């Protein structure tokens, strides 16, 4: 059974870079039919898609975050990662990684990690 | 970006009730819509994809319909475990976007 697990610091200082890793177990990240993504949820708010990556490295980012976001993949470790630079308190959120099912250009998230809370504070 | 608007924002219902939640896209997305259920402190769970296809393991009391810009999630007979927040998501094009959520509460 496929499982995703987020890891990384729970506290990041303002202006610094948030770095998270998602480890995929029970399946290969190098699948031709899936992408991999990051979604976040600020306290008491809705879901916000951050970005998505294919195992070969192609990426898609939310335009509202594009200037600060980098998503990368390490197929040898079956992991993908998120970096968000110049963080502010507005980036405080639960961050989820997810498997993105892709069928002829249609995308939905069918397996989710439990999420990790990141707080931006000095 | 494609904007997704859900209604209502919240709804109160009783066990056994039939409940419908609607989602409207700001432009046509064919049938490329998914529905998720989220309980407090938990990750979202995929219920429906491609507007009407039930994800494996999801009870048949959940159903989805619609195409183009207007979609509906229906729960035919509410069970205690169904009280949660529901989100729609368009998967037609990047950036992927979600509705603001509908909170389903016990009456």
Distance between CA atoms of residues B93 and B90, nearest Å: 8
A→B contacts (Cβ < 8 Å), by residue, are 37, 39, 46-49, 52, 60-63, 96, 101, 103, 105-110, 112-115
Question: What's the CA gap between B65 and A107, in Å, rounded?
Answer: 18
Looking at residue A85, its pLDDT comes to 98
Contact A49 B95 (CB under 8 A): yes
- What pLDDT, on a 0 to 100 scale, did the predictor assign at position B64? 98
What is the spatial distance between Cα A12 and Cα B22, in angstroms, rounded to a whole number?
38
How far off is chain B from A113, nearest CA to CA, in Å?
Answer: 7
Residue in the structure block whose two tokens are 């009391």: B61
Q: How sure is the predictor about B101, in pLDDT bands with cuts at 50, 70 and 90?
A: very high
Tens digits of residue pLDDT in B40-89:
999 999 999 999 999 999 999 999 999 999 999 999 999 999 999 999 99
Closest CB from B32, B87, B93 relative to A47: B87
What pLDDT does residue A105 have? 72
**Low-confidence spans in chain A with pLDDT less than 70:** none
Chain centroid, CA A109 distance in Å: 12
Cα(A85)–Cα(B30) distance, integer angstroms: 35
Q: Which helix (H) or strand (E) holds A11?
A: strand A11-12
What lies within 8 Å, CB to CB, of A104 at 6+ separation is none
Per-residue pLDDT, B74: 98
Residues of chain B in contact with residue A52, where contact means CB-CB under 8 angstroms, are 94, 96
What H or E segment, with its residue span, contains residue B46? Answer: strand B45-49
Strands across the sheet with B62-67, in order? B4-7, B19-25, B70-75, B62-67
Do the chains contact at A96 and B43, CB–CB below 8 Å? yes
Output the pLDDT for position A103: 74
Do the Cβ atoms of A108 and B44 come within 8 Å? no
Dihedral of the alpha carbons of B59, B62, B63, B69, in degrees to the nearest 10: -130
d(CA B38, CA B90) in angstroms, rounded, equals: 17
Mean pLDDT (whole number) for B17-31: 97
Residue A66: DSSP 8-state? T
Helices and strands (H, E) in chain B, number of each type: 0, 11
Rg of chain A taking only CA atoms, in angstroms: 14
Nearest chain A CA: its distance from B29 CA (Å): 10
> Could you report the per-residue pLDDT of B2-13, keeping only the tens digit for each?
999 999 999 999
Q: Give the residue on A whose Cα is nearest the Cα of B88.
A: A47
């Amino acid at each position: 059974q496929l499982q995703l697990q987020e890891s990384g610091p729970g506290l990041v200082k303002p202006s610094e870079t948030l770095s998270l890793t998602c480890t995929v177990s029970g399946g290969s990240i190098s699948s031709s039919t899936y992408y991999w993504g990051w979604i976040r949820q600020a306290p008491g708010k809705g879901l916000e898609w951050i970005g998505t990556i294919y195992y070969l490295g192609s990426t898609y980012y939310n335009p509202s975050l594009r200037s600060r976001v980098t998503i990368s993949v390490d197929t040898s470790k079956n992991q993908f990662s998120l970096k968000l630079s110049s963080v502010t308190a507005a980036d405080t959120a639960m961050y989820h990684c997810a498997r993105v099912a892709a069928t002829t250009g249609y995308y939905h998230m069918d397996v989710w990690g439990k999420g990790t809370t990141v707080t931006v504070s000095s | 970006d494609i904007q997704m608007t859900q209604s209502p924002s919240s709804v109160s219902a009783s066990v056994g009730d039939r409940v419908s939640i609607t989602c409207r896209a700001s432009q046509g997305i064919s049938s490329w819509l998914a529905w998720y259920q989220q309980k407090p402190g938990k990750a979202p769970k995929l219920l429906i994809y491609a507007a009407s296809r039930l994800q494996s393991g999801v009870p048949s009391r959940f159903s989805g319909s619609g195409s183009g810009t207007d979609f509906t999630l229906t729960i035919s007979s509410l069970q205690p475990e169904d009280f949660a927040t529901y989100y729609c998501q368009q998967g037609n094009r990047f950036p992927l976007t979600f509705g603001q959520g509908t909170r389903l509460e016990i009456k």
